[in-house]
Chains A and B, each alone.
Chain A
Amino acid sequence: MSVDAQTVRKVAKLARIAVEDHEVEPLAKELSGILDWVEQLQEVDVEGVDPMTSTVPMRLKRRPDIVTDGNRRDDILSNAPDAREGFFAVPKVVE
C-alpha cells in the first residue's frame, strides 16, 4: 500500500501538523512502510481470537459521582495566550 503526497498533506492538515514541502516525499515513504507492515500483520489468521486490550486481566477503573476538582479558573487559564473576563479568548471562529 502506498501513500501519495496528497494523502500526506491531508493527514497533516487534519492533525494540524505543519509539513514542509521537502518533508512530504520522505513522509509518504515512511507512512507507506508502516502500512505495508500492517498489511503483513493482516496475513495472520486471527479467526476466533478476541482483540487483546491488556496483558493482565483488568477491569476499567470507575469513579463515584462526586465533585473532586474545579474552582481553579486561574490555574486553568494560566497557560492561555489570551484570557478575558474568565474566558479563553481566541480568534473569532464563527462563520
Chain B
Amino acid sequence: MLDLTFSEPAPKVMQGATGPWELVIGMEVHAQVSSTAKLFSGGSTDFGSEPNSNVALVDAAMPGMLPVINEFCVEQAVRTGLGLKAEINLRSVFDRKNYFYPDLPQGYQISQFKYPIVGEGEVLVDMEPGVARTVRVERIHLEQDAGKSIHDMDPSMSFVDLNRTGVALMEIVSRPDIRGPEEAAEYLRKLRQLLRYLGTCDGNMQEGSMRADVNVSVCRPGDYEAFREGGDDFSKLGTRCELKNMNSMRFIQQAINFEARRQIDILEDGGSIDQETRLYDPNKGETRSMRSKEEAHDYRYFPDPDLLPLEIEQAWVDDIAATLPELPDEKRARFMSDYGVTEYDASVLAADRADADFFEQVAKGRDGKASANWVVNELFGRLNKEGLGVATSPVSAEQLGGIIDLIGSGDISGKIAKELFEIVWTEGGDPAEIVEARDMKQVTDTGAIEAAVDEIIAANPEKVAQAQAKPSMAGWFVGQVMKATGGKANPQAVQQLVKQKLGV
C-alpha cells in the first residue's frame, strides 16, 4: 500500500478590500459509463452515429415501453466505487427526477436520489511531489443521460438527437474539500485517470464523456476548518453557486477564479449571495445566472414504479474487487520503491496504464532510474511533440531497452545514444546492429584516444600555453578530441588524458 507521506496544499487566498478570503469548492462529475448498450435499453452507446439511429423504443419513451437495467453498467459503477475505496450499497433505489426538456422524451430522468449505489469514498489529489489532498467523495449514483439539442442549425428551431438519451452516467459527488482552481482541475484529472485505469469511463472530455458541475463559495480563513470540526457544518461556509456543465480543465479554473471574485465583491459591498446555477461564458470570461431554469429545480423526485430496488450480492462485489487493476497511487509508490525513480517520474509514468506498462517493459532487468529517464525525458518528450502515444510510438520498448543496454555496457556514450535514438525513431532497426553497422561504438581504446590528444596538442602550441596558465581552458582540448573522434571517444577518458598531457 501507499507509504508516501504528503502535506496538504495551502488553500487559495484572494485578497479583498476587507481582508483575505478563501475558496471552497465541491464538484459533481458526470462520467459516461463505458458500455456497449444503454442503462435501461438495448440501444447502442456509439458516439458519432447518424442522428437518432441509436434510439431504442424505450429511449424514445414510446407508450408501454419498460426499462430493464443493464447489469454491466451496474458492475461498472461498483468497480468505480471500489476504485475510489468507497462503500458499496447492496441495496439502492432508482427515482424519477421530473422536468421537461425536448431532449428528454420521458419527461423525467431515471436517477438515484436517496439510496445511491455507492457511498463515501475518496480521491487523492496530487499537486506536486509531496503535496496532495484527500478529497472526500460523498456518493456515486447511476442515472440516464439526456439527448443532445443543437441550436445553431436553424434560426428558429432547435434540432434534437436522442442517440445519447439513456446512456448510463455515473454522477460522482465530492464533498466541498477542494480549495482552489488548480486543485479543482487536478481533482478532475485524477478522477479521469482512475476511471481510465478502471476502464469504467473513457474520460474523453471533448466528446462529453466527462462533464463537471462546480460548486463555488468563499469564506474567511478558519471557517473551513470550523466546517470540518463541526462534522461538515455548512452554516460555517458561504452560500454557493453552481457552475454548470464544464468540460475543460482550463475553463474550470478561469470560471472558478471569476466566480470567487464576483462573490467577494458582492459580499464586500454588503450584499449577499443568491444560491443559483450559473453558466460560464469562455468568450467573455464571466459567469452569468441561468435564472430561467430556477423553476425547473423543483424535480419532485419519487421512486420509479417501473423498477424494483437494485439489490446486489456481496459475493458479486467481491468478485469485481478481485479483478481491479493496480491503481495509479499504488503503481506510483511501487515504481518509487522497486525502481528507485523520483516521485515526479513515477507520477508521470503511472499517469496512464499503457505508459506504465511500456515503462515496465523497458525497465525489466535494467537500471530503473536510467529507464525512467529515457522513457520520460526522451521518449515521452518526443511523443508529445509529435502528438503520438506509446501505442503509436515508432520506438518500441524493446528498441529503447536496447539503446539503454548499449549505454550500460559502455559501447556508446550518452551523446551517441541520443543520435542512435534519432536513427531508431526515423528508420527503425535493432540498436545494436545499427551501432555495429555505422561504426558508432565508443572508443575506449586509450591508445587511439591518446594519439588524437597528442595530435591536437602538437598542432596548437599557443592553446597549450594558455591552458597551462588557465586550467579551465583544458575543456577546449576535450572538445577538439571529441570532434576529431566523431564523438565516439569516452569523454571521461579524454578528459583524464588531456589533463595528464597538459600537466594541469
Which A residues have a C-beta under 8 Å from some C-beta of B? Answer: 13-16, 53-54, 58-73, 75-77, 82, 84-95
If A14-B295, A69-B58, A76-B162 touch, whether A94 touches B311 (CB-CB below 8 Å) is no
Chain B residues in 8 Å Cβ range of A66: 36-37, 42
User: B150 touching A58 by the CB < 8 A rule?
Assistant: no
User: B298 touching A62 by the CB < 8 A rule?
Assistant: no
Bound Cα distance from A84 to B51, whole angstroms:
10
B160 within 8 A of A: yes
User: A88 touching B156 by the CB < 8 A rule?
Assistant: no
Chain A residues in 8 Å Cβ range of B295: 13-14
Partner pick for A69 among B43, B98, B307, CB 8 A cutoff? B43
Which B residues have a C-beta under 8 Å from some C-beta of A? Answer: 35-37, 41-44, 50-58, 60, 68-74, 98, 100-102, 149-151, 153-162, 290, 292, 295, 298, 300, 307-311
User: B60 touching A58 by the CB < 8 A rule?
Assistant: no
Partner pick for A63 among B42, B55, B151, B157, CB 8 A cutoff? B42
User: B157 touching A65 by the CB < 8 A rule?
Assistant: no
Number of A-B contacts (CB under 8 A): 136
Main secondary structure on chain B at its contact with chain A? loop
User: B37 touching A88 by the CB < 8 A rule?
Assistant: no
Residue of A nearest to B307 (CB): A60
Residue of A nearest to B60 (CB): A76
Bound Cα distance from A64 to B70, whole angstroms:
6
Partner pick for B44 among A60, A70, A87, A90, CB 8 A cutoff? A70
Chain B residues in 8 Å Cβ range of A88: 52, 102, 159-162
User: A86 touching B156 by the CB < 8 A rule?
Assistant: no
Residue of A nearest to B42 (CB): A68
Residue of B nearest to A54 (CB): B308
User: B52 touching A73 by the CB < 8 A rule?
Assistant: yes
Residue of A nearest to B71 (CB): A62
User: A67 touching B102 by the CB < 8 A rule?
Assistant: no
User: A93 touching B101 by the CB < 8 A rule?
Assistant: yes
Partner pick for A86 among B50, B98, B100, B151, CB 8 A cutoff? B50
Chain B residues in 8 Å Cβ range of A82: 157
User: A84 touching B71 by the CB < 8 A rule?
Assistant: no
Chain A residues in 8 Å Cβ range of B156: 91-92
Residue of A nearest to B163 (CB): A70
Chain A residues in 8 Å Cβ range of B51: 73, 85-87
User: A65 touching B161 by the CB < 8 A rule?
Assistant: no
User: B56 touching A69 by the CB < 8 A rule?
Assistant: yes
Bound Cα distance from A58 to B41, whole angstroms:
20
Residue of B nearest to A69 (CB): B56
Extra contacts besides A58-B308, A62-B74, A86-B52 (4): CB < 8 Å: A13-B295, A63-B37, A70-B42, A84-B157
Chain A residues in 8 Å Cβ range of B55: 70, 72-73, 76
User: A89 touching B44 by the CB < 8 A rule?
Assistant: no
User: A89 touching B53 by the CB < 8 A rule?
Assistant: no
